[in-house]
Chains A and B, each alone.
Chain A
Amino acid sequence: DAKTTQPPSMDCAEGRAANLPCNHSTISGNEYVYWYRQIHSQGPQYIIHGLKNNETNEMASLIITEDRKSSTLILPHATLRDTAVYYCIVRVGGYQKVTFGTGTKLQVIP
């Protein structure tokens, strides 16, 4: 699986959009970009994933650059409950090794 690089921490004002970047310059053509988050002490929670097209669901939007070397997770209206560590992962589905890394700690500020 390709390695990812994320900033260690970010702040976002409550109600504003949170934009979390991820670099994955060595991504392979068949690897998907996944985002998970982990709220303090809980199990990681799936957010969204995509291959090359932008994706949106009820939680977030995922923007993948045309060359697929980076992506951005967008939480459109951040709330205090969105304070968590966000993990960007690139992987082929079903492949056994999933490297979570240390993620980005997002702090939503009132």
Chain B
Amino acid sequence: NAGVTQTPKFRVLKTGQSMTLLCAQDMNHEYMYWYRQDPGMGLRLIHYSVGEGTTAKGEVPDGYNVSRLKKQNFLLGLESAAPSQTSVYFCASSRLARGTDTQYFGPGTRLTVL
């Protein structure tokens, strides 16, 4: 049981390049989330998904797209990377049970955009 995994762990992009971050979970969770964390700040929600084939915008969605084609995977795409997207990206998943859900986080992806 690997929990939540993220690939890659590190990436350096040039402005304007595109890339996709992959999040995978093996806990059969319905909900999946993408957050970003900047120095000295808490986590901010980018996009989330409440089930396979569904996605929704979070707090800071601009410049990102997501897809959830399979229940276990949640992809975060940057179509044209900008230096402002330099950050650490965390994926999380959760299962709703009796009105509560505990989020399990991946180890993070450190992205630098030059």
List A residues at the B interface (Cβ < 8 Å). 30, 32, 34, 36, 41-46, 49, 87, 92-94, 96-103
Contact = CB atoms under 8 A, between A and B. Distances in A.
A46 B103 contact: yes
Given A96-B45, A97-B45, A103-B42, A30 B99 contact: yes
Interface residues of B, number: 32
For the residues of B in contact with A, the DSSP-based class is strand
Contacts of B94: 94
Interface in B93-114: 94, 96-108
B42 A41 contact: no
Of A43, A99, A101, A102, the most chain B CB neighbours within 10 A belong to A43
Interface of B: 4, 31, 33, 35, 40-45, 48, 50, 56, 58-59, 88, 90, 92, 94, 96-108
A92 B99 contact: yes
B69 to A, nearest CB: 20
Contacts of A32: 99-100
Given A43-B107, A45-B105, A100 B43 contact: yes
The 10 closest A-B CB pairs, nearest first, are A43-B105, A93-B100, A100-B42, A94-B96, A100-B43, A93-B101, A101-B42, A93-B99, A46-B102, A44-B105
A105 B34 CA distance: 23
Contacts of A94: 31, 50, 94, 96, 99, 101
Contact of A44 (B90, B96, B99): B90
